[in-house]
Structures are given as C-alpha cells and as structure tokens.
Amino acid sequence: MFTIDAHLDLAMNAMEWNRDLRISAAEINKRERARGLSDKPDRGNAVVSFPDLRRGQIGLVVATQIARFVAPDNPLPGWNSPEQAWSQTQAQLHWYRTMEEAGEMVQIVDRAGLDAHVSRWLAGTESGGDVSRLPIGYILSLEGADSMITVGHLQRAHRYGLRAVGPAHYGPGRYAHGTDASATLNTAGRELIAEMDRLGMILDATHLCDAAFGEALDLFPGPVWASHNNCRALVDHNRQFSDEMIKALIGRGAVIGGALDAWMMVPGWVRGTSTPREMNCDLAVMIDHLDHVCQLAGNADHIGIGSDLDGAFGREQAPHDLETIADLSSLPGLLAERGYPSADIDKVMHGNWLRFLRNAWA
C-alpha cells in the first residue's frame, strides 16, 4: 500500500553518519561492520535506505534539516554558533538537491506537485507495478529552529522549499524550549511563529515543551501537525503528549505520527541496556499509541506514521519485528487484526496526511 512517513532524518544520515542511502540498509550495515565503526550508537543497525523505502511502497516522506545550536553550558551535542548550524542545514539541503539530480528524490512544495506525485505512485502501487525507479517525494521540514540565524532567514528557507518547522528539539532552544526543558516562548520565538504564519508554513508541535506548546497553538492560526509523537498516558515522559495536548491538536485538525523509537513506545526502557525483544516492543505497540489517539478523537482521522527511524537509533532501539523500514508494509495487516476497517487503514497509511496537506496547501 502507498505509504507516507512524516518524519525521516535522511540528510542527517547522509551527511553526519556518512551513509549512502542509494544502497540497501543491509549493505550500509555490512560496510559499517566491516570498518568496525563505533562512533555512533546505531552503527551497523541502519534500517532506512531508498531501496528499502521503495520496497515498502513508502513514496512520500517528510524529510528534515536538523542542526542544534548549543550554548557553552549545554551538554547536548550540537554546533557552537547559529551560523555553523545554518551552514550544516545548507549542506543537508544540497544533499537533497543532489539526490534530486540523481533521480532518487523529488521535492514537493505545493498541492499541484503533491497530487501529481501521489497519482504517479498510486498508479504503480495499486496496479502491482514496478516502483523501484520512481523518485521518493519529500516535503522539507526543519526540526528545531536553532539554525535560523534570524527570523528573516525563514523567508530564505521558504524560497528553497521549507514547508514545516518544529521550533524546538531537545533542551533549551534559541526560539523555544523542547524535550527535557521548560519555558514559554521568548520574543524571538513569538516572532518566528508570526513569520511562519505569514509564509503559510506548517507548525510541527513535536518536541515543544508543555509551557511552549499551548502558547504556540494560541499564537499560530495556521495548520498544525505532530510529525512524530506518542502518548504520555502509555509512556510517562515529557517527550510524549498528554491527553490534554492530544485533544488540543485534535481540535486544530492535526495529524499525529506514531513514532518507532522504542524508548517512546514502552515504559521502563533503559538506554544502552534494554533490548526490543526483552521489552516486548514490536510494531503492534505503536498501534497501542495510535489507538489511544483514536479513543480521544472518537475516530481515526488524526493518526498516521511518523516513524523517526534511523533518527540517531537503529534496530537496537526499534521494534524487534522490523528489519528495515520496508516492514512498515506489515502495518495494514496488524491494523486489520485490531478491527480497523479498510477505509481507516488507508487513512493511517497515507490518507490523513494527504488530507491535511491538501487542506494546508489549498
């Protein structure tokens, strides 16, 4: 089934992990193991590549630019100045452009482009045709706004195709605080929100700390989604959304993408110690989170996939029944086992994201 994944850090993997995504995840892992690489926690455990995306019929993704600024007292990894962070996002942009030139990807920036791309993929997937040569569509999103040197840089980014922004990531940010931090939006953050609205961009509420979440939704009248977020009621951590936050998003017509990072899926995960199998973390657990959103909404109109696979983790911290991202193709069967009718399964796999984007870009 044609599938949309609303959160993949493709350029980060290419530019910082030095992975050639044109080869399979199995080949990426073979190369990394042969070289004995251990500089990243997920070396030899990659699950994302272009061949695997196509094999899973994942023809459209929300692909990120990501580069965090860190102040001298911030222990998180990142760049020492906003200018360096901006330059890193520009390197990532050029990688996407290079992949377009190679025929691997195509950027989607408006409704006409969206409809044309989806029609092309549906013609292949619904007829059982060969999609192995089709370009993967990508919508460019910025995860964490630290790399915006000034609010004025947002207009420049919009011109090169940036269509969604998550103001925060982990820790304290230049515009908004994110996971494991707490503060309301600062003046620059409020200006950023206003400029996003003026440009017609999508607000990604993912990673916003509780104090900034409500304020951002109050200030921003435009389209809001949560590209990759699970439920605090099932895993109690500030990275997750509380029921009240989920209801607020539902009230705004948002879609929430279920994430596949194991520590967000099951309670009690210990990084570097727990394993997916011993924690009974499989793809069905993501459906538990999606079900919870459905119960709050009273329908299946606000859920989708935002896997975050290879977002600085790999198979060591992903569902144990997932070998590569192609295994998202097993979700329709798992959803059917839970009693989801075919119309709702279509919504989860692509329909809700398509409806959201068509409305946002009307």
Whole-number average pLDDT of the chain: 97
Q: Can you tell me which residue has the tokens 């009248």?
A: 221
pTM above 0.85, yes or no: yes
Per residue in 127-136, pLDDT (tens digit) is 777 899 999 9
Domain spans of the chain, in order of start: 3-360
Contacts of 104 (CB under 8 A, 6+ apart): 21, 22, 50, 135, 136
**Burial (CB count within 10 angstroms: exposed 0-12, middle 13-18, buried 19+), residue 24:** middle
Mean pLDDT of all residues in 296-303? 98
The whole-number pLDDT of residue 127 equals: 75
| Cα 296 versus chain centre, distance | 22
Mean pLDDT of all residues in 334-344? 98
Per residue in 176-233, pLDDT (tens digit) is 999 999 999 999 999 999 999 999 999 999 999 999 999 999 999 999 999 999 999 9
The whole-number pLDDT of residue 249 equals: 98
**Residue 230 and residue 262 in contact, taking contact as beta carbons nearer than 8 Å:** no
The architecture that CATH gives domain 3-360 is Alpha-Beta Barrel (3.20)
**Residue 334 and residue 286 in contact, taking contact as beta carbons nearer than 8 Å:** no
Mean pLDDT of all residues in 25-48? 97
Looking at the predicted structure, is the pLDDT value of residue 109 above 80?
Answer: yes
Q: Is the dihedral of CA 239, 245, 250, 253 positive or negative?
A: negative
Structure-block tokens of residue 249: 């998003």
| Beta strands, E only, the chain | 3-8, 58-65, 105-107, 136-143, 162-166, 202-204, 224-225, 256-258, 303-305
- Percent of the chain clearing pLDDT 70 (strictly above): 100
Structure-block tokens of residue 1: 């089934």
Report the DSSP pairing between strands 58-65 and 136-143.
Answer: parallel
Per residue in 136-188, pLDDT (tens digit) is 999 999 999 999 999 999 999 999 999 999 999 999 999 999 999 999 999 99
Per residue in 259-285, pLDDT (tens digit) is 999 999 999 999 889 999 999 999 999
**Residue 144 and residue 166 in contact, taking contact as beta carbons nearer than 8 Å:** yes
Determine the length of the chain. 362
Task: For residue 341, name the pLDDT band (cuts at 50, 70, 90).
Answer: very high
Per residue in 51-64, pLDDT (tens digit) is 999 999 999 999 99
